[in-house]
Amino acid sequence: KHSSPTASPHLRHMAQQVLPSGLVLTYDVRRKPDAGEMELSSGWFVHYFSPEGLPKMPSHTVFVLDVSGSMMDDNKLPQLKVAMESILRGLHPDDSFEILVFSTYVVSLGVYSARGRDLERSIAKVHRLQAQGGTNVDDAFKQALQGLQMLNGTGTAKQIVFLTDGQATVGERDNGQLRRNVREANRYRH
């Protein structure tokens, strides 16, 4: 039997009130103590499972933040700053992360641990971000993947969180080619 979690009408209404920029957030924390849930859509699938009783694996996240000129519109950059502070404060103290910002070019704001002064320094840097320039999605993804590849073989879970408001305007702009470029840059991931 296939089931698809859906947002309650109240959550959908809240999303329309709080997130006017088109971002829709839906999540489900209820899980059955079995093999999890699977969703199928248009030839793709996702398997959700939450094993219990396992030790937490350290993780390293590369946050890739769009600071292009379009982020000045509709209060997007202030929303990104508030969201990032909340995300960073929610990380486990044993985790680490890098913050990349991109517009026409990609710049690393540094690699941090998710505790103490490191955490506070990273949040302060996020709050100082300013929007300008184009949107270079291709270089941003490539640099994020390069940073994660340095952690291969360390027993650390690796992930990229990519936050942008739109289409690439600098560098590679074709979505199909962008996907191929990411796939190619990510082929040596194990």
The more confident residue out of 175 and 68 is 68
Mean pLDDT computed over every residue of the chain: 82
Q: Is residue 54 part of a domain?
A: no
Q: Is residue 98 part of a domain?
A: yes
- Identify the domain containing residue 19 by its residue range: 9-48
Is the same domain home to 30 and 108?
A: no
Q: Is residue 111 part of a domain?
A: yes
Is the same domain home to 16 and 101?
A: no
The more confident residue out of 24 and 82 is 82
Q: Is residue 25 part of a domain?
A: yes
Mean pLDDT calculated for residue range 142-164:
86
Is the same domain home to 164 and 71?
A: yes
Look up the CATH number of the domain holding residue 74. Answer: 3.40.50.410
Over 70: is that where the pLDDT of 41 sits? yes
Is the same domain home to 21 and 106?
A: no
CA distances from 36 to 6, 29, 42, 56, 99 (A): 16, 12, 20, 19, 32
The count of structural domains within the chain is 2
Is the same domain home to 82 and 36?
A: no
Is the same domain home to 112 and 134?
A: yes
Over 90: is that where the pLDDT of 70 sits? yes
Mean pLDDT calculated for residue range 166-181:
89
pLDDT computed for residue 96 by the predictor: 95
Confidence of residue 15 (pLDDT cuts 50, 70, 90): very low
Instruction: Please report how the helices 175-185 and 137-149 are oriented relative to each other, as an axis angle in degrees rounded to 10.
Output: 10
Copy the structure tokens of residue 129: 């971000």
Is the same domain home to 96 and 157?
A: yes
Instruction: Please report how the helices 76-89 and 116-127 are oriented relative to each other, as an axis angle in degrees rounded to 10.
Output: 170
Distance CA 120, CA 108 (A): 17
pLDDT computed for residue 80 by the predictor: 95
Is the same domain home to 19 and 75?
A: no
